[in-house]
Amino acid sequence: MKKVKYRHSTSRLLLLSVAFFISFSVLGIAQDEASQDAAAGSQEQTEESSEDSSAMSDLGDPANGKSLFNSLCAACHKPYSAGIGPALHGVTEKRDMDWLYRWIKNSQELIASGDDEAVAVYEEYNKTAMPAFPQLSDADIDDILAYVEQPKPEPKVAQTGGGSTGGESSGGGVSVNVILGILLFVLVMLLAVLFLVNKTLRNFAQASGVVVTEKPKGKPIWKSFVENQFLVLVSAVFGLLVVGWFAYGFFMQIGVDQGYQPIQPIHYSHRIHAGDNQIDCKYCHSSARTSKHSGIPSLNVCMNCHVTISEVSPETATEEYSKEFYDGEIAKLYDAVGWDPAEQDYTGEQKPVKWVRIHNLPDFAYFNHSQHVTVGGIQCQKCHGPIEEMEVVYQDAPLTMGWCINCHRETNVRMEGNEYYEKIHEELSKKYGVEELTVAQMGGLECAKCHY
Amino acid sequence: MSSNKKYWKSVEELNENSSVVETLQQKEFAEEIPVNEFLGDKESLESSKTSRRDFLKYVGFSTAAASLAACEGPVIKSIPYVVQPERIVPGVANYYASTIADGFDFASVLVKTREGRPIKVENNDLSKSKGGVNSRVHASVLSMYDANRVKRPMIEGRNVSWEEFDREVGSALGNVSGDIVLLTQTFASPSTTKLIKEFSEKYPNVRHVVYDTVSENDALNAFQAKFGKRALPNYDFSKAETIVSVGADFLGDWQGGGYDAGYAKGRVPENGKMSRHIQFESNMSLTGANADKRFPVTPSQQKAVLAALYGYVAGGSSTSDLPAKIDDAVVKAARQLRKAGSGAVVVSGIPDANAQALVLAINEALGSGVMDANNPRMIRQGNAEEVMQAVEDMKSGAVGAVLMAGVNPAYSLPNANEFTEALSNVDVSLAFSMKPDETAELCKFVAATPHYLESWGDIQYTASDFALMQPTIRPLFDTRQFQDCLLKWTDNDKSYHEYIKETWSGSIPSWNTALHDGVFKATSPVEIEASEASGSVNVATAASELARPSENNGMELTLYTKPSMGDGQQANNPWLQEMPDPLTRASWDNYLTISKADAESMGLENENVSNGGLNGSYANITLDGVVVENVPVLIQPGQAKGTVGLALGYGKKSGVQEEMQVGVNAYPLYKNLNAVQSVTIEKAPGVHEFACVQLHNTLMGRGDIIKETTLEVFNTKDVKEWNSVPQVSLDHVEKPVTSPEVDMWDGFDRSIGHHFNLSIDLNACTGCGACVIACHAENNVPVVGKSEVRRSRDMHWLRIDRYYSSEDSFIDDLDKKENISGLGSSLSEFGELEEPADNPQVVFQPVMCQHCNHAPCETVCPVAATSHGRQGQNQMIYNRCVGTRYCANNCPYKVRRFNWFNYAENEEFDYHMNNDLGRMVINPDVTVRSRGVMEKCSMCIQKTQKTILDAKRDGRVIEDGEFQTACSAACDKGAMTFGDINNEGAVIRDKKEDDRMYHLLEYVGTKPNVMYQTKIRNTTEA
């Protein structure tokens, strides 16, 4: 068989890789520019739309209307889509203004008076009565209507490239690669140059008859190292210590999932709920008060609010996650709970959500939330970290036994006003001569308090 | 330089043409090495394309893959409810009051559910007077999670939908010619009675036959003859001063059971008084073991005893034909009964209508306030004659359809073969069944029924005591209960739930309250069929009939039910199989109990073998041509000579997992549903291996294990005489072992916070074993199987030791031991003390971890895996344990259990922890232990911690009685009291101060937190 020789295989490989890096970096730079353009474009667009909407209103003051709408109407109505009540945009065209005043101030009265339109609306919405708002003046109603009659703002286009994929392919990563690529290229070139220079110099030397004297080789360094037994001993000890240190570090982190941040089936943002909207943790995690589990809220708890909140406000969106992305996540909730937002009704088709558990204690460790939350009055953040700032929840604490024990050593038990503690507090404070007792002094370090 | 020597291997090498030499030059061995045989099939090895290189590649890859996979932690999913039910909070248990009524056990229970699944059955305190929550009831929750259940309706073995089933059954019943026999268990349910009446109206040829697997037919007949109602008298043993029982195991399952709680109340000496209990019986029963005085008499003698007793009490005769010793006992018993007045009661388990009539007459003559005939028990209704008639009719072809509910006649009828044949004569056979049992296998239609924890029901215990059954979980399978089926087939659209509500509307003030409490008092809204009371029962004839000596050839067999297995309904329940019998301490078996004298004369043997197991001979039992073969024989001290005993409920095969198909079926010997039979016994070849957990049967006079005295001594003598604290010598001065200066340990201050103590009253403990199962359920104690139990590797955290006396009483044992002097005497007499007496005294002692304040186990653990808590609990930390077993070695009470294997999710231990369904019963608050760790009683720390947390959350002080362990909560006899010793006014403090209090092996100085109350026997003769 004939062998084909690839004579210049190494140089070809080098060339190829250089070409690859160059093309990659150019592509990255191009993408960067494109996304910048898009962002700039959308910014312009929003500015435009807000301008012309303010010019549109002739009914009243939309700004005042917005605040009134949000405080009084938003629980059931949305301007552009149906909630519990109908979408209000365009209502002034459909209905007479007087009728609207009467309806809003007291719809039941209007229905009782036998107004055909009113009865028809009442029937259409399954006889769900709209509360009366006698406190609203006609001017207020005008303001509200002015607000709802604003044209629908155009959705912001392509703030992030692919929407839901988030910021994985952001420019930063590419540029680092480019710099590294260039550096590598330069280094390779340098090597090549050095090699060539060396070769040329030798050629010159040979041509001019200069004999390059080889330096007599001394004892190689490893040999002298081996002969120095003291050095060998010291470095062996040092080496063992280093290995031991790293081995210990490695073994101690096994099973410790600090920083564990799995991707959840629904992108639920604690930042929005607990941070921006200041919802109490225990509103959703209600069983933390009474049970050992904090409990992942069932979807019907979500629907307490999300039956009316089907989309986020534009301000909620961040650079990383767009409004569409969040709205899509709410749609996932609707899908799971079986809520048809168009019909405003439950379909009965439920798909339980398979959340990924973040905080996992081993089975042999017993932890009770209610003990810490209700009895101890400990803030959730003490163990779970700045949960109200987390867009995606991660495990903040190491959840190791040492971490638990430390806290039990340092934390004083909240005893005031709890009759259970009265007797034991009196006795123990006398015994230890302190007024405040730590968990450890209460016996909180005993093994079987947590292991049984 | 190499040597030129030639080494000869054998003479063969001289022969140049030897083939052997040539072969040996090529190979090391002349014969082919059987590598292929060793590795397996030669052909398949050769045809295999896997080379050595491939093999190594696979090994390498799989190792790499395994280590890579190990790098990543498992992703654990958490799936919340979509719509969470309001009452369910994950992690918090809910309790529902319900009632078990399976035809054998009737009891009000409280069902503990977690996340909607029942995990434990507990006593319903509101119905304490009814008792009856025995080990079977505690274990019943596991029977629901039985993987062998019938999961959907079937027609001829084919799975069908309920619609099709209804259609087919409807048309079959419509076309039936002949009677429709409804063969059912005792429901004792007013609504069911009403419903069956409605069913009979639709199909006019319906005949309802009630069949109790274990029959109380004669007692029912006697009561019916006298009072006109098919019922049983009710007894309140707490009022009793003198109890004379002739063959009645009333602490067991006699007449529906549940009498032990009341009995135990009267057994605790109060103001110097306690009841006196005299027992005449043939088998050593739980009741006989608890008696103050027990006489082993044969069943035929029992009849005479009862007749004589009647004679003496009613003042008729003054002599009897009984042997002098027994006659004397009867005379004394009669005298004592008369003295006790309204506190006197006679009960009998003799399966004879005359005997039962006589019992009623005696109690009436005594003016017994213990027996209550006005509020009789309704929980046994079976009629043996009707059952036998039904089988006859089936045979003759007069029956067109048989509908069976809650019964398994193909297994439990004595003439099961006859029944099987007769069933093939019947056109329509239908079994309502939870299990694919012997009967269901024969039936054309099998209606899958739910477990009682998935069903609705109402139960009439007595004429005025009622209970409700409610589901605690949605049916696990596609099942429908018997009553719902009847409703469907009578074209009633209501569910049985609505039907019951309708039955009771107007009769009870509030349905919701009744459902919440589980029990209520009322008058039945449904008329109970009453027959004319003949009244003219001639008692005198009955007595003389009984006194007449019966023809007797061979041995008299008394069939009985074990506290663990009962009638055998729950044979597939591993908890019950593994529960040791209170008396023989053997698990996973039934056996022929025989007296030592009879065993010797027949050459039947029991021996302990070197691995600690008990072996026994086999015997064949013959009754009128019916032979039950290879019944293991166990020599039972206290068994009356000339009698044998055998437990019902074993030897079930269908619908029972292979591991649990143990024992022999004794029902073929249950002729005419009569528990006493005359049989012949002969030795059969072979040796049976028992799984017996106690090999040492006698106390050997060790008064520091069980302290016992008589009521007389207790009342008159100083406590030092009968319950003295052991003395140890310090500087040649005797000091009590409890005094601090003799203690080698520095004690801790234990006066702050909670300090738990458990008191066990040996007088109130009947040895029933309910606590054993409750502990099993609460603490996820694994089931290890028969062979492991035989190796003494049982995992019970709580065992009930049973001791026999070697002399007539334990006190005599003690005397004998004290009087041993010299080598000769000690050699012979200690040996004698090892042998239990022919009629020994028996005592039960529950032993669990004693939670020593100075625990020997704690000091020897090299890794500090067991340590002491301030609350008095000796804590066992599984995750810290490395399994050295030093602790078990150093424990004087032998209460520590080692996990020799992984018992959960292990094919080798294919019990409930090895299938998804069975694992649903696991208590989520307690760790499931893995292999190589020690475990033991934790004093239910999960329960005490929960009580504390609940109080902290509510901000209140904990009341006495709130702290409970699983065993103390399960004991309806009040034998176990648990509480906080630092709580002033707690009952447990009184128990600790009680004169009767002692600690187990107190001289060891371990200072246990478990204490015992001295056993007192009332030996006062009137």
In the structure, what pLDDT confidence band is assigned to residue B35 with cuts at 50, 70 and 90?
A: low
Chain-chain contact of A298 with B873 (C-beta, under 8 angstroms): no
Q: Encoding tokens for residue B977? A: 């009291």
Q: Is residue A302 part of a domain?
A: no
Using CA coordinates, name the residue in chain B closest to A334.
B82
Q: What is the mean pLDDT of residues B270-294?
A: 93
Instruction: Kindly state the average pLDDT of the residues B479-500.
Output: 94
Q: What whole-number percentage of chain A has pLDDT above 70?
A: 82
Which among B869, B926, B958 has CB closest to A446? B869
**Residue A420 lies inside a defined structural domain of this protein:** yes
Q: What would the pLDDT profile of B368-407 be if each residue is shown by its tens digit? A: 999 999 999 999 999 999 999 999 999 998 999 999 999 9
* In the predicted structure, residue B32 carries a pLDDT above the cut 80: no
Please, what is the average pLDDT of chain B? 90
Predicted local confidence at residue B58, as pLDDT: 86
List B276's β-bridge partners, or say none.
B242
> Does residue A103 share a domain with residue A136?
yes
User: Does A51 have pLDDT greater than 50?
Assistant: no
What secondary structure letter does DSSP report for B560? E
Q: Is residue A291 part of a domain?
A: no
Contact flag A355-B879 (C-beta cutoff 8 Å): no
CATH number (domain holding residue A114): 1.10.760.10
Q: pLDDT higher for A84 or B441?
A: B441
- Pairwise CA distance, residues B313 & B335, whole Å: 8
CB distance A447–B867 less than 8 Å?
yes
CATH of B576-692, one of 3.30.70.600, 2.40.40.20, 2.40.128.110, 3.40.50.410: 2.40.40.20
Domain assignment present for residue A155? The answer is no
B75, B81, B92 ranked by CB distance to A262: nearest: B75
A144 and A205 share one domain:
no
Q: Which residues of A touch B77 (CB under 8 A)?
A: 354-357
> Is position A357 within any domain?
no
Which member of A336, A354, A364 has the closest CB to residue B879? Answer: A364
Sequence-distant (≥ 6) Cβ neighbours of residue B228 within 8 angstroms: B530, B531, B532, B533
Angstroms from A272 CA to nearest CA on chain B:
21
pLDDT at A249 exceeding the cut of 50 = yes
Distance from the B788 Cα atom to the nearest Cα atom in chain A, whole angstroms: 25
Query: Which of B42-51, B380-389, B611-620 has the weakest average pLDDT?
Result: B42-51
Higher pLDDT, B73 or B495: B495
- Class for the domain spanning B708-738+757-1017: alpha beta
Residue range A71-75: mean pLDDT, rounded: 79
Whether A290 and B942 lie within 8 Å, measured CB to CB = no
Q: What is the pLDDT of residues B704-740, one digit of tens each?
A: 899 999 999 999 999 998 998 999 888 899 989 888 8
CATH architecture of the domain with residue range B232-377: 3-Layer(aba) Sandwich (3.40)
CA gap B251, B954 in Å, rounded: 41
Domain with CATH 3.30.70.20 in chain B: 708-738+757-1017
- Residues A65, A143, single domain; the answer is yes
CA atoms of B683 and B657, how far apart (whole Å): 29
Q: Is B154 helix (H, G, I), strand (E, B) or coil?
A: strand
Mutation to test the B interface, candidates A304, A446, A449, A450, most B Cβ within 10 Å: A446
Chain A CB contacts of B80 under 8 Å are 295-299, 352-353, 355
Phi-psi region of A99 (alpha: psi -120 to 50; beta: other; left: phi over 0): alpha
User: Using CA of residue B864, residue B865, residue B870, residue B872, what is the dihedral sign?
Assistant: negative
Long-range Cβ contact pairs of B417-424 (< 8 A, separation 24 or more) = B418/B391, B419/B391, B419/B394, B421/B395, B422/B391, B422/B394, B422/B395, B423/B394
A124 in a domain, yes or no? Answer: yes
The H or E element containing residue B465 is strand B465-469
- How distant is the Cα of B181 from the closest Cα of chain A, in angstroms? 45
pLDDT at A372 over 70: yes
> Same domain for A41 and A120?
no
User: Does the structure show a pLDDT above 60 at A165?
Assistant: no
- Domain range for A235 is 220-254
Residue-wise pLDDT for A398-437, tens only, equals 999 999 999 999 999 998 889 999 988 998 888 888 888 9
- All CATH 2.40.40.20 domain ranges in chain B, comma separated: 576-692
**Whether residues A48 and A177 fall in one domain:** yes
Contact A412, A376 (CB under 8 A): no
> Averaging pLDDT over each range in A5-14, A205-214, B148-157, which range is the top one?
B148-157
Q: Are residues A72 and A14 in the same domain?
A: no
Residues A8 and A136 in one domain: no
Q: In Å, how far are A321, B100, B210, B446 from B441, measured between CA atoms?
A: 63, 25, 21, 8
Å between B57 CA and nearest CA of chain A: 29
Distance, CA of B349 to CA of B255 (rounded, Å): 8
Q: How many domains does chain A have?
A: 4
Query: Is pLDDT above 70 for B828?
Result: yes
The answer on A175 and A43 residing in a single domain is: yes
- Among partner residues A300, A420, A447, which is closest to B952 by beta-carbon distance? A420
**Candidates B75, B78, B949; nearest CB to A370:** B949
> Does A31 have pLDDT greater than 50?
no
Whether B686 contacts B603, CB under 8 Å: no
Enter the tokens of residue B888.
């078990």
A-B C-beta contacts closer than 8 Å: 150
Other C-beta atoms lying within 10 Å of the C-beta of residue A277: 12
Residue A393, φ and ψ in degrees, nearest 5: -75, 140
The beta-carbon neighbor of A448 closest among B752, B869, B956 is: B869
Are the beta carbons of B982 and B989 closer than 8 angstroms? Answer: no
Mean pLDDT of the B780-796 span: 93
Q: Which two tokens stand for residue B651?
A: 């030897």
Distance CA B640, CA B893 (A): 33
Strands (E), B723-782: 727-730, 733-736, 756-761
Mean pLDDT computed over every residue of chain A: 81
Give the number of other CB atoms < 10 A from CB of residue B95. Answer: 13
Count of helix runs (H) and strand runs (E) in chain A? 18, 3
User: Is A431 within 8 Å of B875 when comparing Cβ atoms?
Assistant: no
pLDDT at position B739: 86
Per-residue pLDDT at A53: 44
Dump pLDDT digits (tens) for A404-414: 999 999 999 99
Q: Is A41 inside a domain boundary? A: yes
Q: Is residue A317 part of a domain?
A: no
The answer to which of A102-111, B154-163, B899-908 has the lowest mean pLDDT is: A102-111
Q: Which of B267, B325, B259 is nearest to B292 (CA)?
A: B267
Q: What is the pLDDT of residues B187-204, one digit of tens each?
A: 999 999 999 999 999 988
Rounded Cα distance between B134 and B564, Å, is: 9
The pLDDT confidence band at residue A163, using thresholds 50, 70 and 90, is very low
User: Looking at residue A35, what is its pLDDT?
Assistant: 46
d(CA B244, CA B276): 8
The pLDDT, as a whole number, for residue A17 is 57
pLDDT value of residue B543: 80
Q: Cβ–Cβ of A428/B938 closer than 8 Å? A: no
Looking at the structure, tell me whether residues A69 and A136 fall in a common domain.
yes
Structure tokens at B313: 């009490």
Query: Per-residue confidence at B41, pLDDT binned at 50, 70, 90?
Result: low
CA gyration radius, chain A: 35
Q: How much is the pLDDT for A162?
A: 40
**What is the reported pLDDT for B544?**
79
How far apart are alpha carbons B918 and A444 in whole angstroms? 34
Q: Report CB contact under 8 Å: B953, A375.
A: yes
Per residue in B113-157, pLDDT tens?
Answer: 999 999 999 999 888 656 678 999 999 999 999 999 999 999 998
Statement: residue B78 has pLDDT above 50: yes
Residue with tokens 């893995």: B930
CB contact under 8 A, B90 and A293: yes
Q: What is the pLDDT of residue B533?
A: 66
Within this chain, do residues A81 and A100 fall inside the same structural domain, yes or no? yes
Calculate how close chain B gets to A307, using CA atoms only, in Å.
14
Locus of tokens 């009622």: B466
Question: Cβ contact (<8 Å) for A291 and B870?
Answer: no
SS3 state at B857: helix
**In this model, does residue A29 exceed pLDDT 60?**
no
Q: What percent of chain B has pLDDT over 90?
A: 70
The residue that leads in pLDDT, B3 or A370, is A370
Are A410 and A424 contained in the same domain?
Answer: yes
Tell whether the model's pLDDT for residue B97 goes beyond 50.
yes
Q: Does residue A41 sit in the same domain as residue A106?
A: no
Which of the pair, B828 or B282, is modelled with greater confidence? B282
Q: What does the block give as tokens for A166? A: 């988030």
CA distance A167 to chain B (A): 24
How many whole angstroms separate alpha carbon B251 and alpha carbon B243? Answer: 12
What is the 3-state secondary structure of B86-128?
Answer: CCCCCCCEEEEEEEEECCCCEEEEEEEEECCEEEEEEECHHHC
Q: Which two tokens stand for residue B93?
A: 């248990």
Q: What is the mean pLDDT of residues B454-476?
A: 93
Q: Token digits for B521?
A: 């008092």
Find chain B residues with C-beta within 8 A of A352's C-beta. 79-82
Radius of gyration for the alpha carbons in chain B, expressed in angstroms and rounded: 32
Q: Do B866 and B877 touch, CB atoms closer than 8 A?
A: yes
Numbers of helices and strands, H then E, in chain B: 34, 42
What's the pLDDT at B597?
93
Residue A6: pLDDT band (50, 70, 90) is very low
CA-nearest residue of chain B to A265? B77
Cβ contacts of B948 on chain A, cutoff 8 Å: 420
